[in-house]
Amino acid sequence: MIALIDYGAGNLTSVRKALAAVGARVFTPMAPGDLGRAAAIVVPGVGHFGATRALAGPWKRAILDHVERGRPLLGICLGMQWLFEGSEEAPDVEGLGVFAGRCRRLEARAPDKIPHVGWNAIRVAQPVALLEGVASDTQMYFTHSFAGPITPEAAAVTTHGEPFAAAVARGRVAGVQFHPEKSGDAGLRILRNFVGPIDSVNPDDGGA
């Protein structure tokens, strides 16, 4: 079962439908303790980084415990930004801190405009399981104004005004700045890549 986190930052319906389309069983946990029965976690979201304040405290501790047990975690859009240490959009709000660095506002450079909304190509920077079967120059759907830095964990990069991390991955933790649930077959492929190994994860023993 995949725990789809609802912290009030966007409509979860499209993500839930996309996960179901690739064969995943999904539930929305009502309390941090519910994550104990999750084989994997997805943190979606749109909007202001300040919304992630709702994930502080018990939720953050439960998600970090999930990661420490070797279970998969995927952040989507704002959920990916939350995987970093924080964002200049809400300097007083801490991120999960799995990836080093802070998110910042993209610089507008003609003809690109901010917010970045629409289809754009990703460049695969390194082979990771999440992007298996997804080629460079594949178009994904974006909607955001802030983005994560390009670090050694950047698995894909996109340029809009300036280059930024379109996907990050390390071990079983990954994030995508674009919306795979709105990115057609390529987006579903990415979700399928994430869901595929979950059958090998046993929530009772912390996974392999």
Single pTM value for the model: 0.94
CATH of domain 2-200: 3.40.50.880
Q: What is the pLDDT of residue 200?
A: 57
Structure-derived torsion over alpha carbons of residues 193, 195, 198, 204, reported in degrees to the nearest 10: 150
The string over 158-187, giving b where at least 16 C-beta atoms fall within 10 Å of a residue's C-beta and e elsewhere, is bebbeebbbbbbeebbbbbbbbbbbbeebb
Q: Which of 66, 116, 160, 179 is catalytic?
A: 179
Active site residue 116: no
- Per-residue pLDDT of the chain (208 residues), as tens digits, is 999 999 999 879 999 999 999 999 999 999 999 999 999 999 999 999 999 999 999 999 999 999 999 999 999 999 999 999 999 999 999 999 999 999 999 998 878 899 999 999 999 999 999 999 999 999 999 999 999 999 999 999 999 999 999 999 999 999 999 999 999 999 999 999 999 877 656 666 544 3
Distance between alpha carbon 143 and the CA centroid of its chain, in Å?
13
Domain range list for the chain: 2-200
121-138: pLDDT as tens digits: 999 999 999 999 999 999
Q: Which of 66, 77, 89, 144 is catalytic?
A: 77
SS (H, E, C) the chain: CEEECCCCCCCCHHHHHHHHHCCCCEECCCCHHHHHHCCEEEECCCCCHHHHHHHCCHHHHHHHHHHHCCCCEEEECHHHHHCCCEECCCCCCECCCCCCCEEEECCCCCCCCCCEEEEEEEEECCCCHHHCCCCCCEEEEEEECEEECCCCCEEEEEEECEEEEEEEEECCEEEECCCHHHCHHHHHHHHHHHHHHHHHCCCCCCCC
Burial class (CB in 10 A: 0-12, 13-18, 19+), 25: exposed
Q: What is the pLDDT of residue 203?
A: 67
Active site residue 88: no
Active site residue 144: no
